[in-house]
Amino acid sequence: MPIATPEVYAEMLDRAKAGRYAYPAINVTSSQTLNAALRGFADAESDGIVQVSTGGAEYLSGPTIKDMVTGAAAFAAYAHEVARNYPVNVALHTDHCPKDKLDKFVRPLMQISKERVARGEEPLFQSHMWDGSAVPVAENLEIASELLDRAAEGKIVLEIEVGVVGGEEDGVENAINEKLYTTVEDGLAMVEALGLGEKGRYMAALTFGNVHGVYKPGNVKLRPEVLKSIQEAVGAKYGKEKPLSLVFHGGSGSLLSEIREALDYGVVKMNIDTDTQYCFTRPVADHMFRNYDGVLKVDGEVGNKKLYDPRVWGKAAEAGMAARVVEACEALRSTGTRMGR
């Protein structure tokens, strides 16, 4: 199947919330990591989301070029070609974009999609994230409102962050403290500014103790009940049950019970990067350590081309990452839920 259309993506998100499951959103940085994610979704019979960060997009353009729009557009073009060979629906997303990078990343990509839609084509990406966690809530929502108008013109879903995710990702670092918990007041302000779909579709990354990076299970102090309180407050005001489609950031080190509780409260998308990075790299390290005399020309020897061929260790890397994607689908209850089964 091709990359999900806006209509298919909307149905994916609606089905996830109704079914109390979420899609793994896998960060990718190359054709290999994209192929690994697609393989994992197919093996799990789950639809899914693949995404690029600002740093990932720079890398995809070439490490010496560092052009985020070029890298993102090239990734999307490649993904549109290879994804059609898999029996799952996959949406393309751009991850955290702070204020100082909007004009170099999200806004140009939205303009590309607007022009594509005007020509009768599908948008290049299905959703984009605006990360306004570093600015005051009022400014965050003002920018989000402007971006939501742009997104609607290109049939794009907007993701916003209201609250702060701790830890570090792509050079953005936040302290681990009480600011990691979105308040009910912030949730209500968000809906007052953005509506509940009538101005355009959006997902909300409300924070409940989320932290980017590597942590052992139990070290991250999540409070999923924060999501429940905000859903109930918004629902009571607008007469809707579980009105918000939520996103879970910083899931590494989370207990399965916490993940599942968050799903019950309306999480439909969970970002996964740290764990899949490790599961991609670990088989490569194993291959190199076990075959060092083949991958290196030790003492003037010629080495072993069959061992240093990038396809050899690359396949192992992809298999390792794909297995972790399958594990993520199982944790998020999306296994076997692909549309069209």
> Which residues are part of the catalytic machinery?
95
The percent of the chain in helix, strand and coil, each rounded to the nearest 5, is 50, 15, 35
The one-letter amino acid code at 76 reads A
Residue with tokens 């890398």: 59
Which of 4, 25, 2 is CA-nearest to residue 334? 25
Q: How many CB atoms sit inside 10 A of residue 278's CB? A: 15
Coil, strand or helix at 193: helix
Coil, strand or helix at 33: helix
Which residues are CB-contacts of 7 (< 8 A; sequence separation ≥ 6)?
Answer: none
State whether the Cα torsion 113-133-250-227 is positive or negative.
Answer: negative
The one-letter amino acid code at 134 reads A
Distance CA 142, CA 23 (A): 28
